[in-house]
Amino acid sequence: MSELLYAIELVPDKRNESLPSPPRNSISVSDPVRALGDTKSVSGSSIQIPIDLEAGGLKEGRIIVIIAALTGVNFLGSLCNGFITIGLPRIASDLSLSEHLILWPSAVYYLTSSSCLLLAGSVADVIGNKRVNMLGCFLTSTFILACGLARTGIELIMFRAMQGIAVSLCLPTSVAIVANAAPSGRKRNIGFSCLGFVQPIGFSLGMVLEGVILDSVGWRFSYYLCGSLSLALFGVSLWALPRDAVIEGSTLAKLKQDIDWVGAIVVSISIGVFSYILATLTSSVSYISRPANIALLLISVIFVPVFVTWEARRERLHLPALIPNSLWRNTVFTSVCLTVLFSNAVANAMEVFCSLFFQEIQHTSALGASIRILPSLLVGFLIQLTTGLLIHRTSPYLLVLVALLLSSGAPLLMAVVSSHWPYWYAAFPAQLLSPLSCDIMFTIGLLAVSEEFPSHTQALAGAVFNTVAQFGTSLGLTLIAVVAACVTKKEGDRGMRREEELLAGYRAGFWTAFASMGLACIIGAFGLRKMGNVGVKRD
């Protein structure tokens, strides 16, 4: 199993404002000046917002610096994930990391990050997005540098776990800061696009650069470089990011009153435990039969209805709810979350398994495989930028549907490709099609999700979106890896050559990815029909 997977990365309280609002929300997220400049009641708490705006709004140059600083930190975090994916065999050898722990430096990052996102977003909405983002940026820099200084495999795993927690402070607050700093329309759309495309670009570029760095200055240099750059961005952010709200009264009292702590803890435990089970399955499918893993799986599943019941109670008593159940009755919101989940699952799995196909079946080097994946990186960059520029002028429903259909062709091409075909016959078109749905859905999905949450809970909106995306990544990689491993083992029992066993497993994985994209197409076609325009400028 480890041969297949050595490169795998695991991954309402009724508000009393009287402002005009879209459905469910009492403050429009499309009016950041109003949201920043007025005194408003948040879950019964009065929060006075300082006027951190110049001439009716932040100057364009400062907005650019804000977006650049926030995306830069996210980019460096993803760059490190690319480093660990390619450099893991060498790192494991240098640090004497045990074979049964070989995947944990990668997997533990996603486990801790996805578990803490919702809690981090909830806290940020109360104590301030800049404060939480600054803490996350500083800790991210610290633990990236610590990874480069690790002396043992256990130290590396612990530092990667802490890095995941630190990044969970940055991701949701980045969304909230952009939503409040950039006016609705093209500027905000581009800001969200930038938050989106830097993550796959950082990961892919990290895979390419690590192949070069490993054979020259060594793997530790990459972490020293990323940590230093992240500290520099921390300094820029101290000046550039808009000031937080001045909270009247006791901060501790507001943390107690305005956050659904029970809901946040229950859902975080459920996601964290389930992510752990997914991580163990990538080592061996047989691990699911262990009593401890069965018990943990049951706990994670049982906590889902517990969370739903608790949220229903909070809504009924008009108390702040983490994710109100009424939100899931919104077909568009639910469909957006599901399509984002499947798109991320397939896009990330395609990247990993295409790399394995090029290396294990076509016998290219790690650098050669990274170069063959490079077209998907370039297409993803162009798609994200174009989506941010044009989304307010086109129908998001048609754009999403076309993207889902085209992206379905990527796993289909890889499922039928012959190991003897030239790269340009099927693998190259697959790389061009693979990122379309994931990258388009990031911008559209983030806009749609943020517009379902009031302006004072934008960090929670970002947390919900990033949790769905990261969970999709972990789920997709695990599902496709398990399918591929089972088919590979079955073919091995028939006495086939090792290369033929792996090819059969990879093809089964690609067919699974194709089926997942087919399901995403059905959800998008029927669930997003009533989706209105997103990212348009509102007065």
| Owner of token pair 């599901």 | 338
Examine residue 83 and state whether it is found in any structural domain, yes or no. yes
How far is it, in rounded angstroms, from Cα 499 to Cα 505? 10
Residue 311 vs residue 107, higher pLDDT: 311
Segment 391-413 shows an average pLDDT of 88
Examine residue 377 and state whether it is found in any structural domain, yes or no. yes
Band (495; pLDDT cuts 50, 70, 90): low
Residue among 304, 404, 466, 272 at smallest CA distance from 312: 304
- Measured at the CA of 138, the angle between CA 137 and CA 140, to 5 degrees, comes to 65
Residue 23 has pLDDT above 50, yes or no: no
What is the CB neighbour count within 10 angstroms for residue 239?
Answer: 9
Residue 522 has pLDDT above 90, yes or no: yes
Q: Which domain holds residue 326?
A: 2-13+57-527
How far is it, in rounded angstroms, from Cα 147 to Cα 153? 10
Residue among 513, 339, 366 at smallest CA distance from 430: 513
What is residue 5's predicted lDDT score, i.e. its pLDDT? 42
Band (407; pLDDT cuts 50, 70, 90): very high
What is residue 43's predicted lDDT score, i.e. its pLDDT? 40
The least confident of 202-206, 278-282, 533-537 is 533-537
In our burial notation (b when 16+ CB lie closer than 10 A, e otherwise), range 491-500 reads bbeeeeeeee
Segment 22-29 shows an average pLDDT of 35
What is residue 404's predicted lDDT score, i.e. its pLDDT? 93
Residue 420 has pLDDT above 70, yes or no: yes
Q: What is the pLDDT of residues 315-326, one digit of tens each?
A: 888 888 888 888
Segment 400-408 shows an average pLDDT of 92
Whole-number percent of the chain with pLDDT over 70: 85
Provide the 8-state DSSP code for 357.
Answer: I
Examine residue 387 and state whether it is found in any structural domain, yes or no. yes
Range from 155-169, 247-261, 276-290, 339-353 that averages highest in pLDDT: 155-169
CATH of residue 445: 1.20.1250.20
Sheet holding 246-247: strands in order across?
Answer: 40-42, 45-48, 246-247
Q: What is the pLDDT of residues 172-203, one digit of tens each?
A: 899 889 888 887 777 788 888 888 778 777 88
Examine residue 31 and state whether it is found in any structural domain, yes or no. no
**Element holding 536 (H helix, E strand):** none
Examine residue 140 and state whether it is found in any structural domain, yes or no. yes
Residue among 233, 266, 33 at smallest CA distance from 138: 233
What is residue 489's predicted lDDT score, i.e. its pLDDT? 80
By the 10 Å C-beta count (0-12 exposed, 13-18 middle, 19+ buried), 195 is classed as buried
Which residues does 96 contact at the CB level (< 8 Å), separation at least 6?
152, 153
What is the CB neighbour count within 10 angstroms for residue 119?
Answer: 23
How far is it, in rounded angstroms, from Cα 207 to Cα 200? 11
Residue among 93, 105, 116 at smallest CA distance from 143: 105
Band (63; pLDDT cuts 50, 70, 90): confident
Provide the 8-state DSSP code for 49.
Answer: P
Residue 16 has pLDDT above 70, yes or no: no
What is residue 536's predicted lDDT score, i.e. its pLDDT? 54
Residue among 303, 312, 295, 230 at smallest CA distance from 271: 303
Residue 91 has pLDDT above 90, yes or no: no
Examine residue 188 and state whether it is found in any structural domain, yes or no. yes
Q: Quote the mean pLDDT of the chain.
A: 79
Residue 6 has pLDDT above 60, yes or no: no
How far is it, in rounded angstroms, from Cα 175 to Cα 452? 14
Residue among 33, 197, 49 at smallest CA distance from 537: 33
Q: What is the pLDDT of residues 431-479, one digit of tens each?
A: 999 888 888 888 888 777 777 777 677 777 778 888 888 888 888 888 8
Residue 510 has pLDDT above 90, yes or no: yes
The least confident of 131-140, 245-254, 465-474, 504-513 is 245-254
Range from 118-132, 155-169, 497-511 that averages highest in pLDDT: 155-169
39 neighbors 47 (Cβ within 8 angstroms): yes
Range from 12-21, 24-33, 499-508 that averages highest in pLDDT: 499-508
What is residue 143's predicted lDDT score, i.e. its pLDDT? 94
What is residue 517's predicted lDDT score, i.e. its pLDDT? 93
**Element holding 42 (H helix, E strand):** strand 40-42
Three-state SS for 60-127 is HHHHHHHHHHHHHHHHHHHHHHHHHHHHHHHHHHHCCCCHHHCCHHHHHHHHHHHHHHHHHHHHHHHH
Residue 214 vs residue 297, higher pLDDT: 297
464 neighbors 490 (Cβ within 8 angstroms): no
The least confident of 2-6, 411-415, 441-445 is 2-6
Whole-number percent of the chain with pLDDT over 90: 20
167 neighbors 343 (Cβ within 8 angstroms): no
Q: What is the pLDDT of residues 240-267, one digit of tens each?
A: 888 877 777 777 888 888 888 898 899 8
Band (290; pLDDT cuts 50, 70, 90): confident
Segment 381-394 shows an average pLDDT of 78
Residue 52 has pLDDT above 60, yes or no: no
Segment 53-61 shows an average pLDDT of 62
Band (9; pLDDT cuts 50, 70, 90): very low
Examine residue 538 and state whether it is found in any structural domain, yes or no. no
Residue 359 vs residue 400, higher pLDDT: 400
Examine residue 21 and state whether it is found in any structural domain, yes or no. no
What is residue 53's predicted lDDT score, i.e. its pLDDT? 46
Segment 149-174 shows an average pLDDT of 91
Structural domain tally of the chain? Answer: 1
Backbone phi, psi, residue 91, to 5°: -60, -45
501 neighbors 491 (Cβ within 8 angstroms): yes
Which residues does 409 contact at the CB level (< 8 Å), separation at least 6?
429, 430, 433
